[in-house]
Amino acid sequence: MIQSVAFIGLGAMGYRMAAHLPQHFDTVYVWNRNFEKAKQHATEYGTQAVELAQAVQADVIFSCLPTSKDVEELIASVKIKSGSIWVDCTSGVPESAKNLATQLKLHNIDFLDAPVSGQTIGAETATLTIMVGGESAAFEKALPAMQAFGKLIKHVGGSGAGFSVKAVNNMLLAVNLCSVAEGFTALKAHGVNLHEALDCINASSGKSGVTETVLPQRILNRSFPLTFALPLLAKDTGIALDLVREAKLSAPVIALTQSLIQASSDLSEKDSDFSSAVKMYESWSKITIE
Amino acid sequence: MIQSVAFIGLGAMGYRMAAHLPQHFDTVYVWNRNFEKAKQHATEYGTQAVELAQAVQADVIFSCLPTSKDVEELIASVKIKSGSIWVDCTSGVPESAKNLATQLKLHNIDFLDAPVSGQTIGAETATLTIMVGGESAAFEKALPAMQAFGKLIKHVGGSGAGFSVKAVNNMLLAVNLCSVAEGFTALKAHGVNLHEALDCINASSGKSGVTETVLPQRILNRSFPLTFALPLLAKDTGIALDLVREAKLSAPVIALTQSLIQASSDLSEKDSDFSSAVKMYESWSKITIE
Amino acid sequence: MIQSVAFIGLGAMGYRMAAHLPQHFDTVYVWNRNFEKAKQHATEYGTQAVELAQAVQADVIFSCLPTSKDVEELIASVKIKSGSIWVDCTSGVPESAKNLATQLKLHNIDFLDAPVSGQTIGAETATLTIMVGGESAAFEKALPAMQAFGKLIKHVGGSGAGFSVKAVNNMLLAVNLCSVAEGFTALKAHGVNLHEALDCINASSGKSGVTETVLPQRILNRSFPLTFALPLLAKDTGIALDLVREAKLSAPVIALTQSLIQASSDLSEKDSDFSSAVKMYESWSKITIE
Amino acid sequence: MIQSVAFIGLGAMGYRMAAHLPQHFDTVYVWNRNFEKAKQHATEYGTQAVELAQAVQADVIFSCLPTSKDVEELIASVKIKSGSIWVDCTSGVPESAKNLATQLKLHNIDFLDAPVSGQTIGAETATLTIMVGGESAAFEKALPAMQAFGKLIKHVGGSGAGFSVKAVNNMLLAVNLCSVAEGFTALKAHGVNLHEALDCINASSGKSGVTETVLPQRILNRSFPLTFALPLLAKDTGIALDLVREAKLSAPVIALTQSLIQASSDLSEKDSDFSSAVKMYESWSKITIE
């Protein structure tokens, strides 16, 4: 039985995810590097803003940080309660998950890699998808805590499997971003009405998350709202490519897409939304996708 | 007012599409190269199996053939009624549509390129999507006839625009086929449960028509049912790449995907379903996507 | 026996190529759209600046124009002497060569596609390489005229074969330009001395025309002298890709390179040397290859 | 002054490289995992076959093994003489070189990454190219030993720089292998004489090490002699791609080529020469490059 939970990393996602925990658990610790955020969360949602050393004494400890490196450094800096489960919701590196799981196991701590999808709206409405890697027993034990903010929660394999699925998902997003940019630029060059074309494609076999939501809600209306930064997508495509490389596989579309997203990220302002990857294509063709 | 319609080309799609016409029009001619098919259609649906010369005397003439070249040869061989509208439902070549439209206009005949999507099930239930290129007036006049088997019917631009949208749609399908094959091979190599992973991705930003239907219904269950032949998908990706080339655009993902689909088509049996494009990846990795 | 030769198109290459003809033939006509150039050539080299109608009365007629389209238009506008041989040194389109050869044959005129390599210095020193497509008999008859400015002169196949070889050569140049830019950017990012690295590579298996001459003479010294315009290289890579497409082959590296050169051409000033294709990579990485 | 040298790893390259050392140094130790090879070398060239523990007491210790991992394991297993210089001629991993250099420095040992090019013929004639990474002082001290078998010997940068240059060189080789296979398949599909085409290209801007030697000596004559195994080329392209990834660069041609070489390696017999990478293309097109 989970008595206490902690949430470490109160960014755009974490802040909203942690907000659901007090409805299910009596003791909910929160911690954030910028500690004002933690105190604000405590005031707003009835969580307890505590020092990191105390946070890691919870039965289930969630983390949601920018990269696996951040998680590694944080874990290296604390003494975690024996018997606890660390659930890392970062979009992280599979290899890192394997290493952390092995290392923490020596101290009788379980590590689950449990990245989420569903964006801030999903975090707010507790309808996130969670793809979890790690041992089955730990998954079962941590499940009630994950259910506080997740809807579809799947145990996809051993350590690193959750991060792997997230990386592949984001890679598929990236591939669609590039190919839709290419295809719609070509359609516009040939005088096709993009809005009508989009309606047709969304009723056909070429549709994707990008054609259904990203293209109409972020690109065609030229809004590019920052909810997921392009450099982070570049990082995730890199994780996907590393998966391919480690297994000595051949994945030409993934390899090429990683290069293209990297180039478009390098060309963009730092705080660009992932959807602005299409602007590299627009600079090539002098055609605006609108 | 449309008094008579004709349907030329009673393949898997055309046969089902033409079946709806008698409910809306008194005079419905059908013609097929293998004429037995036409006679069978007449018996089954109350259409009239007539000679080609008579079919092209209808007010609206539909065609649904393998390639634009077939349509060009057929049109060159007949004398079409002045004032009629030719609605070509082939997945054809934009450049060919422009040429046919210009040429037929000299004889007071309109030409619409009107490829469909929705597969045989959509043809059966009259819920096809139709993406139409050509003049607005002709589109408006032919619309009631197209409504016999279409549900979402969009006028996407001038001559060739319909074919262009279909080609881009099929290219996006091809891109997803390749990238999903690459991503899921990598996931399996890392011990991930593909079925659970698929559930997660279908609830996330990387989803597509391929992850939602092709992967579960054709690939993971190893059925590869032939409904759309791989060489035809290779042809369509070629049409999309030609669109890019004609506009002197840069579309690396489209260009690469065309090569990959061409290679997988060259390696496959002639009657392979488009979904069997993944088998090239499986032969590289010795990993079966199941 | 060749009594008279003509040279049409006195650009940077043609002007120098035609200069050698008077040493070998008594009657040498020259013509250029900007006719002043022709008159200047006559003064400088003892050729005869004549009207186009007279030029095409020569036994062997050379042309060297920007594109096959220019050649087609020019040929369509004149009445060429029966029994003559038209030798087109343009970097042209194989399909166009086939069509022109067939069409001119009806008027008892031979057409050879005979693009050259060796740049202006090769034209000046009469050491050009000439790759010739067309009928053997015509090749043999025209050989003495081609020897006036060519050194290595090869009959590589039927009509279009010469243009095909030139297109593939230029595609290989483009591939090396891109991969060298990628590789040397990476080396510099890792602190490697590029000049020493280049010496090693030029003594190793990775060497190419690009590493041996283009990189040291145009890129590392930041000179980018205009001798062959980047848009023309983009055109030639397109011809190579069309060759692949017509034969329904799969050529992923060619397809990708065509896209990259097209993008770098679209991003460049119109009068950029082909070597400035590397600048697209430099804009991505903020690393200068020097 | 170098009094003693050792050579560890007497493979096809190492055996020939070590053969030149006795002409320049009085004490030359050799060691090989299969020790019979070492004894044979001693008999043949007057070297001393010694135990590994003694070999690493030399002033300069050369190694030439399949991968960096082999070198790391070997170094971890021995106590190397303080003040010595380890010169690793393996085609290795830059990151590994940096780690080994740092680690050995703690024991007052210098490490140079010094991969070679020139194949077995270059090893035999002592005309190898050596690209060296590491500290200048160590380079200067080890230079006389390297001159025993090297001709062009360049200090290209700090630790890892030598391996980086070798990886990029081999990547360029791989790129040319793929693009030449694509281009020559296309030429043959269009009826071009490949031997004449090759002569033209080798006199033009598209030439490369592949067109000048690999294509005529290994592919067109269908000999594919095993001198450098395809899986090793796949490994080296992976090292090059890792260089790109570590620097967060975009290198689409390198990324794609890595995938293609990996696929062709996966499809090949284990002991295939690198030149047999073209056979993947031949299986796609059913065209033999001959």
Per-residue pLDDT of chain D (290 residues; tens, 9 = 90+): 899 999 999 999 999 999 999 999 999 999 999 999 999 999 999 999 999 999 999 999 999 999 999 999 999 999 999 999 999 999 999 999 999 999 999 999 999 999 999 999 999 999 999 999 999 999 999 999 999 999 999 999 999 999 999 999 999 999 999 999 999 999 999 999 999 999 999 999 999 999 999 999 999 999 999 989 999 999 999 999 999 999 999 999 999 999 999 999 999 998 999 999 999 999 999 999 99
Q: Which residue of C has its CA nearest to B255?
A: C255
Average pLDDT, chain C: 97
**All residues at 6 or more sequence positions from B258 whose CB lies less than 8 Å from its CB, including other chains:** B171, B174, B234, B237, B238, B240, B241, C255
Which residues of B are known catalytic residues? 166
Specify whether the CB–CB gap between D150 and C208 falls below 8 A. no
* Sign of the four-CA dihedral C219, C223, C229, C230: positive
Residues of chain C contacting residue B250, judged by C-beta atoms under 8 Å apart: 259-260, 262-263, 266
Whether chain C has a CB inside 8 Å of the CB on A79: the answer is no
Residues of chain B contacting residue A161, judged by C-beta atoms under 8 Å apart: 187, 190-193, 197
Whether chain D has a CB inside 8 Å of the CB on B253: the answer is no
- Measured in angstroms, the CA of C189 and the nearest CA of chain A are apart by 14
Q: Which residue of B has its CA nearest to D285?
A: B266
Chains that touch B (3 or more CB pairs under 8 A): A, C, D
Which residue in A263, A266, A284 is closest to C266 by CB distance? A284
Whether chain C has a CB inside 8 Å of the CB on A263: the answer is yes
Q: In terms of CATH, what superfamily is B4-158?
A: NAD(P)-binding Rossmann-like Domain (3.40.50.720)
**All residues at 6 or more sequence positions from C207 whose CB lies less than 8 Å from its CB, including other chains:** C201, D172, D208, D209
Q: Do A242 and D245 touch (CB under 8 A)?
A: yes
Residues of chain C contacting residue B252, judged by C-beta atoms under 8 Å apart: 256, 259-260, 263
pLDDT score for D142: 98
Residues of chain B contacting residue D285, judged by C-beta atoms under 8 Å apart: 266
Beta strands in chain B (DSSP E): 4-8, 27-31, 48-49, 60-63, 85-88, 110-113, 116-117, 128-133, 150-157
pLDDT score for B3: 95
Q: What is the pLDDT of residues C86-145, one digit of tens each?
A: 999 999 999 999 999 999 999 999 999 999 999 999 999 999 999 999 999 999 999 999
Residue range(s) in chain A whose domain bears CATH number 3.40.50.720: 4-157
Q: Is the pLDDT of residue A270 over 90?
A: no
A4-157 placed in CATH 3.40.50.720: yes
pLDDT score for D1: 83
Q: Do C249 and B262 touch (CB under 8 A)?
A: yes
Q: Do D252 and A251 touch (CB under 8 A)?
A: no
CATH of domain D164-285: 1.10.1040.10
Q: Which residue of B has its CA nearest to C246?
A: B238
Q: Do C171 and D179 touch (CB under 8 A)?
A: yes
Which residue in D168, D210, D252 is closest to C183 by CB distance? D168
Residues of chain C contacting residue B251, judged by C-beta atoms under 8 Å apart: 259
Chains that touch A (3 or more CB pairs under 8 A): B, C, D
Which residue in C156, C183, C187 is closest to D193 by CB distance? C156
pLDDT score for C1: 82
Kindly give the parts of chain B with pLDDT less than 50: none
Residue range(s) in chain A whose domain bears CATH number 1.10.1040.10: 164-285
Q: Is the pLDDT of residue A1 over 90?
A: no
- Measured in angstroms, the CA of A99 and the nearest CA of chain B are apart by 15
Q: Which residue of B has its CA nearest to D281?
A: B263
Q: What is the pLDDT of residues D59-76, one digit of tens each?
A: 999 999 999 999 999 999
**All residues at 6 or more sequence positions from B175 whose CB lies less than 8 Å from its CB, including other chains:** A175, A176, A179, A253, B253, B254, B257
Task: Supply the ipTM of this predicted assembly.
Answer: 0.96
Q: Do A252 and D234 touch (CB under 8 A)?
A: no
Mutate to test the interface with B, among C95, C232, C235, C250 (most CBs of B within 10 A): C250
Q: Do A248 and D234 touch (CB under 8 A)?
A: yes
Q: Do A241 and D242 touch (CB under 8 A)?
A: no
Residue range(s) in chain B whose domain bears CATH number 3.40.50.720: 4-158
Which residues of C are known catalytic residues? 166
Mean pLDDT computed over A140-149:
98
- Measured in angstroms, the CA of B90 and the nearest CA of chain D are apart by 28
